[in-house]
Each structure stands twice: as structure tokens, then as C-alpha cells.
Structure 1
Amino acid sequence: MENQVKECHPTMLEEVLDGLRKPQKKLPSKYFYDERGSQLFEQITRLDEYYPTRTEVAIMRENMPEIIRQIGRDVVLVELGSGSSEKTKLLLDHLPHVTAYIPVEISEKFLSSVVEHLRKKYPDLSINPVYTDYTRPFQVPDIEQPYDHFVVFYPGSTIGNFHPRQARQFLATISTMLEPGGGMLIGVDLKKDNEVLERAYNDKQGLTARFNKNILRHINRELDADFSLDKFRHCATYNEGKGRIEMHLVSKTDQEVTVAGEQFHFIRDESIHTENSYKYALKEFEELVSDWFTVENVWTDQHNYFSLQYLQNNIS
């Protein structure tokens, strides 16, 4: 496929082994997203319990004229963790004179199929996929056509997967991609009733549990590991003190697991911390981004469950 860029970074093996050697075992949440993990997450977004996706889409639909005015014309749209690009289609169907669309995704196979579909739907649009871990600095493809500015689209409250310190580092990196006039359209999940939050990450169908365990399946395949998925259970709870949902995989028994020849011992009820999902008050998020961005506009739903925000780059 033409017009594609692939980046290389420190290896999956190094990151996985480093995480499993810690007293509180951890795994990078980005490794949920092989092709199967990406498909499972798309199914999760359609669950009744999982409010973020449908709420964000409703916010976009209700405020589209104002969102489009904020983004502006002749824009290069860069989407981080693009997935199926469903929300992006809402923008592409309304944005005037989009110069190019750059979807960025770690799962090459999944993104390739999405790009193939998008090129059929938008045959006149320049689509330049980047297959990489976008949490690290990466190279944006050269844009041959004239454009006015870049806008980074980061929907779905994925910013909440970063520890606030890491989120600041990430925002600093993104700001360097943006020229004066550039901005960021970002989804931010808001603090709310604990029951609503925990229900969203513990669905009745068990899709989130399968998604959580898929990280072990991915590691088994890629790193010659022997995790038994049946010996771990999914656990997701809201830590009110830290303002975050915490996802863990909890060992059901004492067991030994081997990864790339290195052995790890688990005692019963010991967990692997696989993901955080931080929730923010609007003022908290404004303070988080303030060194690099100015919050220009905020759109929310009637329950104040979720927000879509436009951040203006203030680094010249």
C-alpha cells in the first residue's frame, strides 16, 4: 500500500519483561490492540453499559457546525489510535476542504483494512496511514498539497489511560507536531457516579473481560509465553482517591508463567495491572494541558458524563 509510514521503537519484549519484574506486575495497555483486541474494543463501544462512545458521538452530532467552525478549513487531520475511524467519518462528511487524513494505529493489519474502506468511501481524499505506537514521537508523512494547519483528533477519552505525569509528557510531544494555528480535538471522560463508571468496565456479556485477557493472548503469540487465560480473572474498580478506573488481571491460583524463557511466579489473588482510565473535572483537565494548550471550547452531554474539547496550541 502506498503512502504509509511504519515506525520502530523499543521492543515489546523489553517492555513486557520490565513490567512483569515489578513488585506490582504491570503490562502496557497498548498491547491490548492486536487485530483481535481492536475488534473486541469496537464491540465494547456498542455495549449499553459503555457510555463514552455513544455519548461522544451524540455530542459531535449535536454540535457539529460549531466543531467544524472551530477546526477550520484546509486542515490536515491526524487521528491518534484511529481504530475503525467511525467518529472521523462524522468529521470528514462535514469538514470543508480537508487536505489530508493521517490515521495512526499500532495494529497494522486492522488499520490497513480500515484504510482500504476509507479510500473507497473518500476517493478524492489523501489518506496517509502511520503504523506506530503514537505514545512515542513519530514522523508525520510529508503533505504535498497546500494546507493551513494540523488538527490532532484524539477521541474516546484515551488520554485517561495515561498517568497525569505521562499525559503531560504526551501533550508536550503532540504540541511539537503542531505549527501555530494548530489544535487538538480531544475526548475527555468526566468524573461521575462510581456505579456508572464501574458498570462501564464490567459489562454483563464479559466483553471487557475478554478484551483484558487478550493482552495475555497477544503476549503468548508474540513472545513465546505460556499464560493460561483461564487462570486469570478480570477485575475493574474505581479508585476514588486517584480518580481512575483500574483494570487488573488477577491470578486465580499459585502458578508459574514463562515469557521468552524467563519465569514469573504468581501467588493466588496477585494481579497484573493492565490499564488505568483517569476521569477529570473540567478544571482539572484545563490545568493539565495549560503548559501547551489553551482550552478554546468544551462541549458536554446533558448529564455531564463526557466532554469533547478543542485545545489551541499555545507553543509557537
Structure 2
Amino acid sequence: MNMEEKIVLNGLRKQQREIHFSFLYDTQGSQIYEEITCLKEYYLFNAELQLFKDKAVEIAKAITPGSLFVELGCGNALKTASLLSAIQHVHGRCRYVGIDVSESALKEARRNLGDLVAELNPDAIELINADFIEGLLKVKSCYPEQQLCIAWLGSSVGNLTKEDAAEFFKDIFKAVGFTCQLLVCIDMWKNPETLYSAYHDKKGVTERFIKHGVQKALSCIGYEPDEDSVKSWCYDVEINKLLRRVEMYISFPQGLNLDKHQIQIRPRERILVEFSTKYSVDDIKLVATKACCQLHRCWGDSSYYTCQIFLPVSHALVQCWRDTDNLFAGILDWNSKPIDLRHPYIFYYGHVCAFTKVKMMGNDEESELDTIFSRGIDPNVLDPSQCHSHPVIPSTWPSKEVVIDYVRRTRIWIQNEAVNGKLDTRVFSLVIEHERMHQETLTYMIVQDRKKSFENKTKVSINKPQKGNVFSDILMHKISRPDILIEAGDVTLGAHPSDISTFIWDNEGPTFHTKVSEPFLVASRPVSIKDYLRFIVYGGYKIKSLWKQEDYTFFSENGFVYPATWSLVGNEYYIHGPDSTKHWTEVAEEAVYVSLAEAEAFCKWVGYRVMTETQYHRILDFDKHGKQVLSMREGGWEWTSTEFHPFPGFKPIPEYKEYSTDFFDGKHYVLKGYSDVTHGSMHRDSFRNFYQRQYRYVFSKFRCILSA
């Protein structure tokens, strides 16, 4: 008895008789399936095409550069083409391996990719005729050291139960190792009528597809039905609301006697041929947990169709730790403290690891170093003696060697716990995102180090283009007026529980409905370095009436007369970033990074104001894709004038109750969007960053608004 015959007989002998879905996808079945994808009712194909059209570049950026892109069940690769083009565009190269059981589909895939992805070298396309795991094992043997991005598109995961999907993810990782990315498209649970129509089309193409699969399976056990018999078979679709799946059945009006195999199928007894599992957000997160994965990035509509990247937990951890180590590799003095309101660098190397360990351990006993590194500080900028609760600050920090050894040992313990499935996905996402946040704030410190080093070394003039009487020109520079009209209207703040986000903090929810009651004008661009230099040259830092009293006192007493990322050498300004220092004229049109206090003083000077958090979201509703109001999300955090407070119905996150609650103090304000060094996992509209209004070191921009 061969394997196919065994699979068929085992299925037909079950209490709920079934035919395995793999029999649907031979060469003829694949051709019928291509017909299905062209049906109006079958929304899945077009939904995925549209998702890739809108998000291909974002998805490509989330794929590790240099990865081998491996597609399971590639079919004719039509949908994949736009994604491969984006990968080629973003990373400058792309290598593709398609795996499919249909030889004819693979031949068509090669033709399509040659026609649709002209920039893809034909030698960079490899096609494997095999089932999924067999194909992956071949890939791994050919590319043992290659980083892989494994794509499983078309919501093919729906062919498995949720439990089997988690096990299949594990099988993938066993086949290729735990350093891969898994890119999966998933159809979401939706209106039953929509689902029914998608699988019971008016032309009967899906029925023909299912009947063909049954014919193929029965032929494997020696039964060859004639054409009239096949036409008499009954096709039935059922929407199983309990299991959230669409089920496709075949029944035989006269029954079916397979005497050779001692199988008697009663008249009208239904045989389950295929089902298509649909997912809720919680389902996706549950599968990730069972597969020991992190839900790394997500795109799409959580009520319709989605795409996500899963990472094996060990890979996500190692990737995050590698990024932290790369930051610290460039820091010469771990005991330096470039920002007075923060601890020295060495604390943060221990802290991100200790935080992860403590959150995983729960109430288990902590070591002395666990406690020392458990929490950082965010003191009151105006009175640093006032600060939230934190461990006692040691008079001398542990040595670099001690901290490195502590981190090494702790990471081993954390990884063992994660690989053994002892880390809840929610806690895992929390600690990863926490470390990613600190990678950004460490970059703020590194920029201040760069600034100090530059100022210490730069005692003579720098070679630069001669600009003539630049400051006179600056005084003549015209600052753009807010020019985009945003109408009044309803606004929804906060993340809905069904949002397909990898993770959300407590302050991002619950959903809160409010409104912008009056229309307003907003600047199409953030305030630039050149705009802000005019404010400085005009003497804006010395005009008391532009500032709140406490802000003016703080800036004047500390001698702050330009932004924290700037240096003044002679009569020239230089702007510092994470990787470079440039004369201001080289970056004049880029957004200026300032504190909220500085932003509001500038706005008052020109007769405008900083937007509120509600207005920010109203702008996003008006211009979803950023075609008119530019760089709202990217290019730097966007300051709002909204105090950081909870939305109605707020509940602290149980694993980290103090994350938000300690800062609902009337001193912190909301920032939206993200900066160039914010990790992609936090690129979500619901994310609420928060800083004190006088804190100067954030990569935070602003723009002007005006009542209409």
C-alpha cells in the first residue's frame, strides 16, 4: 500500500469521513484553482493583491536584508511578483525559491516572474517540485547558512486547524532552523454570507474543484467513477461558526460501496473534502504562542484580510540582543552619562536584560543585580530630586566586566525558557518592545556624546561651502503658513481589541470616541531647521512673552539657546544625528527636533499653535496615506499639546502596571508617529509616546496649526 492510498483509506474510515485537501492540488486541480481566483465572489485573491499593492514596500523593509525568499505553494507566482519587485527595490537584490507539487504551475511561475519582475535576474529564480517540508529540506541543504524568509501566501494556512497550523510552523522551524522569518497571509472571520459565496460560486467552479479532488483520491484506491456519477455527486458548503471555518462536503445520492476496502458510505452521508479556517486576532496570537513565535509585524485589515511576519522566539530574542550589542559596541565609555536626567550607559545594558528576566520570573526571588537594574529613572526635569519609585542608585555601578557576565548568563536563562515554550507571547512582546524602546533612547544619548566630542575637537573652522551673509538671508526667510484645511468631525482614539497589532500598551486603549469640533488649517510640512534658525536669529529664546514662565526660567537658567542636537561653533550651527554631523545648510529643509516647550514658543512667535492628539488623528483620517500632510507618521515623533492621560476605561497592564500610571502626572505630553530609529514593531497609529515638555533630547518634530 503506497502513502497516497493509505491517506485516503485512513480518511474514509474516520467517524467524520474526509478526503485530505492535498488531493485537490495536482496539475489539473491547480488549473481549476486559478479559475477560482478570477471569480468575483472569491475575494481572497484580490484582497491579497491589493494588500501587496499598498504595503509591499513596508513588507519588504521588514524582511531581513539578503534573505532568500522561499514561497510555499507558489502556484503561478502572480501575487508574489509585486512583493519580489519591492524586495529588489528596497534591498537592491532578491533571490527567490518557489516550492510547489505542480510542475505545470512551476513552469508558469517562471514565465510570470520573468514577465512581471524584469529586474529579477533569471539565475536568481529557483523552482522545486516537492511538498512543503521536502522542499524546505532541499533549500536548507543547498543554503545551510542563508537567512530565509519563508512565505506562505493565499491564506493557505486556512487548510489546517489552528492547532495543526501551530504544529506546522514548528515543523518549518525544525526543517530550516530557528533563524528564519515566516511571512503568512491569513483570511479573517467575517460575514457568513460573504464566506458562503466565496466557496459556493454561481458558476460552479469551486464545486468542480472539490469534485476533482475526490475523483483523484478515489482513483488512488482503485475506484474510477464515470462522468455521470461525478455529476450526480452533491456539493455542500457549511459555515461552522463554532470553529470559525468554511467546510466543503461531497455526498453520494446512492451511497458508495468500496467492497475491496470494506468501506460502505451511506446515501447522502457527507465527506469533508476541504475546510478553510478563518481567524480572529486572538486566534493569530494563540497560534503564535503555541508555535513559540513572536508576532513580529502585521499589515492589513483585521476584519478582512491580513499579512504578518512570525519570528521563532529564540530568533527574535537574538535579533534584538544583537541590535543592543551593536549599539554598545560603538560606546567607548560605558560609565559616561551624556544626559544628566538619565543613568550612565552601563545601567541600560544590564537593565534591558534584568527587566526581561524579572517579567518572566514573576514573583520568583531576584538577585542583587536583578534589583539594581530592574528600573530606570525619569525625574522631573524642573526638579530632578522628584522622581517615580525606582531602586536605590548605587554609589558605584558594577564594572563593565561584571555587567557583561550578568547579561551573558541571564540571556542564556531567558533563551532556554523561551525555547521551551515557557514565555507567554504577550510578555514576550512586552519585553522585546521595551528593549527596542531603550535602543532608541540610547541613540539619543549617543547623539549627545557625538555632540560633545565634536565640540571638544572643533576649535577651528570646518571646511564648508561659503554661504555669504547667511543669517541676513535667514531673517528674510518666509515661514510657510498652515495651508491644508481639516474639517471638523468625529475621531476614534485608541486601539480596538481587534486591531491586528503585535502588541499594544495599556495607554493605547480602550477605544475612545471623541470629535474635533472646529475646522483647522495644518501645515503640509513640519517646521524645518531653516524655519527654526530664523526663530533663533530673531532672538526667540530671549523673548520671555513667547514662553510659559517655568519653561523660560528653565531654558534661560541653563543657557539653552538652541536645540539639544545642535552645536554652535564660532558663528556656525551644526546638526548632529546618530551617524553624522552636518552643517545646518546641508539639512536646512529637514524637520527640526525640539522639546514641546521650544515648539510652543516658536508657534506663538508666528501666531500659530501645536496640534492636539485628537487633531493628529483627525488629520490621519483626512489624509490616510500622507499625500497632502507630509511626514505625519515618519521622520520624527510628532509633538502634540495633549497632556498624557488615560482614555476612559483605562486598565493598567498587569505585567507592568507602572508603565503608564507613574506618568499620568500632568507633566508628560503625548507624541505620535515614530522617528528614523524607532523599531518597526512600534510603527502603529495607536502608539502613544510621552515625554516632559522641557525634555530636549527626543527626535521629535512639530508643525503649526491655525483655526480655520
TM-score scaled by structure 1?
Answer: 0.87
Any idea what SS the aligned residue of 2:132 has? coil
Aligned to 2:231: 230
Report the counterpart of residue 661 of structure 2 in structure 1.
Answer: none
What residue number does 1:93 align with? 85
Q: Secondary structure at the match of 1:26?
A: coil
| CA–CA distance in structure 1, aligned partners of residues 16 and 219 of structure 2 | 23
8 Å CA contact 2:178, 2:314 repeated in 1: yes
Alignment correspondent of 2:578? none
Amino acid of the residue matched to residue 251 of structure 2? Answer: V
More strand by proportion, 1 or 2? 1
> Would the aligned equivalents of 1:99 and 1:125 in 2 still touch at CA under 8 Å?
no
Q: CA deviation at 1:28?
A: 0.5
Say if 1:281 and 1:136 are closer, same or farther in 2 by CA, change over 3 A. Answer: farther
Higher relative contact order (CA 8 A, sep 6+): 1
Deviations 1:188-212 (A, max 9, x none): 1111111111111110000000000
Q: Distance in 2 between matches of 1:106 and 1:26?
A: 21
- Superposition deviation, residue 113 in structure 1: 4.2
Q: Which residue of 1 aligns with 2:305?
A: 306
Partner of 2:244: 243
Q: How many Å apart are 1:263 and its aligned residue?
A: 5.1
Return the structure number with greater helix share. Answer: 2
Mapped partners of 2:32, 2:156: distance in 1: 16
Q: CA 1:239 to 1:246, structure 2 compared with 1: closer, same or farther past 3 Å?
A: same
**1:119 to 1:58, Cα distance in 2 relative to 1, 3 A:** closer
The letter of the residue matching 1:300 is G
Secondary structure of the corresponding residue to residue 183 of structure 2: strand
Matches of 1:40 and 1:100, distance apart in 2: 29
Structure 1 unmatched runs, 5+: 1-9
Distance 1:140 1:178 in 2: 9
Hey, what's the Cα distance between the residues in 2 that align with 1:171 and 1:265? 36
Matches of 1:147 and 1:99, distance apart in 2:
16
Equivalence for 1:6: none
Per-residue CA deviations over 1:263-295 (Å, capped at 9, x if unaligned) read 532222101111121111112211211243211
Matched, 1:31 2:1: no
Paired position in structure 2 for 1:103: 98
Task: Say if 1:92 and 1:98, in contact at 8 Å, map to a contact too.
Answer: no
- 2:156 match: 158
1:144-189 per-residue CA deviation (whole Å, 9 max, x = no partner) reads: 7897620011111111111122112101111234555521111111
Say which of 23, 38, 49 aligns to 1:46: 38
User: Structure 1 residues 74 and 125, CA, compared in 2 at 3 Å: closer, same or farther?
Assistant: farther
Separation in 1, partners of 2:133, 2:281? 23
The answer to which of 265-274 and 29-38 deviates more is: 265-274
User: Deviation string for 1:34-71 (max 9, x for gaps)?
Assistant: 11110111111111111111011111111122111001
CA contact (8 A) 1:137 1:173 kept: no
| Number of equivalenced pairs | 304
Contact 1:233 1:251 in 2 (8 A): yes
Give the secondary-structure state (helix, strand or coil) at the position aligned to 1:86: coil
Amino acid at match of 1:169: E
What is the aligned partner in structure 1 of residue 462 from structure 2?
none
The answer for the alignment partner of 1:283 in structure 2 is 282
Q: Which residue does the alignment assign to 2:184?
A: 186
Aligned to 1:5: none
Gap regions ≥5 residues in structure 2: 316-708
Aligned counterpart, 2:550: none
User: Where do residues 105-254 of structure 1 align in structure 2 (5 Å cutoff)?
Assistant: 105-115=100-110, 118=113, 122-134=120-132, 138-141=136-139, 149-179=147-177, 181-227=179-225, 228-254=229-255
RMSD over aligned CA atoms reads: 2.5
Partner of 2:58: 66
> Once the 2 structures are TM-superposed, how far is the Cα of residue 143 of structure 1 from its aligned partner?
7.5
Percent identical across equivalent pairs?
25
Q: 1:138 to 1:75 in 2, by over 3 A?
A: closer
Partner amino acid, structure 2, of 1:206? G
SS at match of 2:314: coil
Measured in 2, the distance between the counterparts of 1:13 and 1:145 equals: 34
Given that 2:78 and 2:109 are in contact with CA atoms closer than 8 Å, whether structure 1 keeps it comes out as no
Per the normalisation by structure 2, the TM-score is 0.40
Structure 2 distance, partners of 1:257, 1:196, is 37
Q: Distance between the aligned counterparts of 2:258 and 2:203, measured in 1?
A: 28
Residue 134 of structure 1: how far off its partner (Å) = 1.6
